[in-house]
Every structure is written in C-alpha cells, then in structure tokens.
Amino acid sequence: MPPAAHPSPAAPWLRPQVADVGVGLLGKEGRQAANAADCVLPEFQHLLPLLLVHGALCRHRLSRLVTYSFYKNVVRGRSFP
C-alpha cells in the first residue's frame, strides 16, 4: 500500500490526490488553499457541522441502497408461473 500523499508545508494549497473532497480554510497565509478546495470554511469550528451533515446524508443514501438491494433480491428470487 503506497503512503498517503501529504502536501509539503511550503505548498499548503496542494490537495492530496487520495481525497474525495478538499476542504480549505480561509486564513492569514493567503487564499491558495481556499482556491484549490471544493468547499471553503471561514473558521475551523465550522468543520464539525459539515462532517455531521455529510455523515447523515451518506448514511441515508447507504440505507436506501441496502433497501433497494433487498427489494431486488426478493423480486428476482420469486418464480412466476
């Protein structure tokens, strides 16, 4: 397994290639990280609500997928005359 790609401290605006979504924070260093990010937060304290909302939506989508999979297996399992 290759090591995770971490940006160097000299280039904070580079996103790791293994991430699905890049979250940038506005700060005193400049706007490079915010410009390269998919989602920009003004302060670090806003990260927790973002993660909680994302987790709830992900759980909802996964539960719908599982329910649909069970439904399709039940429908395919029946033999019609």
How is the chain split into domains, by residue range?
Answer: 1-42, 44-81
**33 CB-side CA count, 13 A:** 19
Which tens digits make up the pLDDT trace of 30-46?
Answer: 777 778 888 888 888 88
Higher pLDDT, 51 or 19: 51
Which tens digits make up the pLDDT trace of 2-40?
Answer: 555 555 555 555 555 555 777 888 877 777 777 888 888
Is the sign of the CA dihedral 4, 5, 8, 13 positive or negative? negative
Which tens digits make up the pLDDT trace of 60-78?
Answer: 999 999 999 988 888 887 6
Name the CA radius of gyration of the chain, rounded: 20
Confidence at residue 80, expressed as pLDDT on a 0 to 100 scale: 59
The two three-digit tokens of residue 18, written as one number: 């293994």
